[in-house]
Amino acid sequence: MAYRYWCGECGFRTGWLTESQVERQQTEHYAARHPEIFPGGQVETDRRNPNRAVGCAQLVGLLVMVLILAASCRR
C-alpha cells in the first residue's frame, strides 16, 4: 500500500511511500520545522494504485538482479 503525508502546519508533503517511511518523514519534518508542536497532519492512501510502493521496490530489485547477471556474464 502506498501512503502520502501532508503536514498540518505548512504545505509540506511526502511522495508516495510505505507507511513506515511516511511516519519517519513526518517525525523528522516536525522535529526540524515545528519542534514545539506535536506531530499532526493527515496521511493519504493511494486508492488508484494501492500497490505503487511495492511495485516500485520490485522493479528496483529486478533491475539490480539484471545488472548482477550482466556483470557476471561479462568476461
Confidence of residue 51 (pLDDT cuts 50, 70, 90): low
* pTM for the predicted model, two decimal places: 0.59
More confident residue, 66 or 50: 66
Question: What pLDDT score does 46 carry?
Answer: 79
- Where in the chain are the domains? 3-73
Q: What's the pLDDT tens digit per position in 13-34?
A: 998 888 889 999 999 999 999 9
CB-based contact 21:57 (threshold 8 Å): no
pLDDT, average across residues 29-53: 82
Strands 42-45 and 3-6 turn out to be antiparallel
